[in-house]
Amino acid sequence: MGNKQTTFTDEQLEAFQDCTFFTRKEILRLHGRYRELAPHLVPLDYTNSPDIRVPPTLIVTMPELKENPFRDRIVETFSEDGLGNLSFNDFVDMFSAFCETSPRELKTIYAFKIYDFNRDSFICKEDLRRTLNKLTKGELTPEEVSLVCDKSIEEADLDGDHKLSFTDFENMVSKAPDFLSNFHIRI
């Protein structure tokens, strides 16, 4: 049934199926969505794996990401150059990590990367402050933000270095019952 498509070779589709949580049909549909973002840039024929990257300004216009306060960080985390330009590989990778069947460990790793604004593999108070500001869009006063940051780090920090390493983050997230259902983008 899928043999009529000429976007990918069968071998490429097999590779995608093995490396992501999507089926053939979903990968082809994702390619359609990717192409919609920049039709003049993205070719229809991907059999020779062209090296095309869509800039972040176009990617954040997707309805699934448009309203997300962390959209810039998400796109930066999954891009190879760290600036947000996504190739199709990165695009598929991104939605695969957010899909329903993706395991908790993978989601935790990527959540940590997203919230780590300065990419020092620790979530320090400044990272947390930026997270809260994006979450509440300035509804809290600076003192309240500072208080919440201090309390959050106090709650989750296990080794007492006043910032959250990955293990602290993972431990805290494992106690959150809604994490899996919230960290899920439907595409």
Partner 1 sequence: MARSPQRQSSREEYDYTEEYGSHSDQQSLRLRRVPSRVSNQNPPQFDWSSPHEEEDEEGSSGPPRDLRATPLPMALKRAMRQIQQMRVPVVSSRESWKRKKAKSLRKLKESGRGFLSFFSLWSKTLQKIGGNFGGGVQSYFLFLRFLVVLNFVSFLLIAGFVLIPSIVFRSVGSKLINSTGPEACMEYDPNPQGLVVFYNYFLDLLSGTGFMEYSYLFYGYYNNTMVEDVNFSYNIPLAYLLTAVFYFIFCLICIIVRMGTAARVVVATGVSTVGNYSMIAFTSWDYGCLGDRATKLKQKNIHYGLQVDLEEESMKKRAATLTLLQKIVLYSLRVSMCVLSLGLIIAAFFGIFKATEFSQKNSLQGGILGLFFEYLPSIVITAGNFVVPLLCDQIALIERYAPSNTVIVALLRSVFLRLVSLGVLLFTLWGQITCDGAENTGDCKLCQYNHLIYQCWETRVGQEMYKLTLFDFLINIAVLILVEFPRRMVVDNWSNKLTQWVGRQEFVVSANVLGLVYGQTVVWTGALFCPLLPLINTLKFILLFYFKKITLFYNCRPALKTFRSTTSTFFFLVVLLFGWGLGTVVIIYSVAEIRPSMGCGPFSVFPSMWSIVPMSFQKLSITSQEFLFFIGSQSFSIPLFALSCVVMCYFVALASVYGKSVALLRAQLKLEGRDKQFLVKQIEMLSQSQHILN
Helix (H) or strand (E) holding 54: strand 53-54
- Which listed residue (110, 126, 141, 163) binds partner 1 by CB under 8 A? 110
126 lies in the binding site for partner 1 (CB under 8 A): no
Q: Does 174 bind partner 1 (CB under 8 A)?
A: yes
Does residue 41 belong to the site contacting partner 1 (CB under 8 A)? no
- DSSP class of 4: G
Residue 159 found at the interface with partner 1 (CB under 8 A) = yes
Nearer to partner 1, 40 or 187 (CB): 187
Contact between 119 and partner 1 (CB under 8 A)? yes
- DSSP of 95-120, one letter per residue? HHHHSTTS-HHHHHHHHHHHH-TT-S
Q: Which stretch binds partner 1 (CB under 8 A): 2-10, 31-39, 40-48, 59-67?
A: 59-67
For 42-46, the CB contacts below 8 A with 24+ separation are 42/88, 44/6, 44/7, 45/6, 45/7, 46/7, 46/8, 46/12, 46/88
The verdict on 72 binding partner 1 (CB under 8 A) reads no
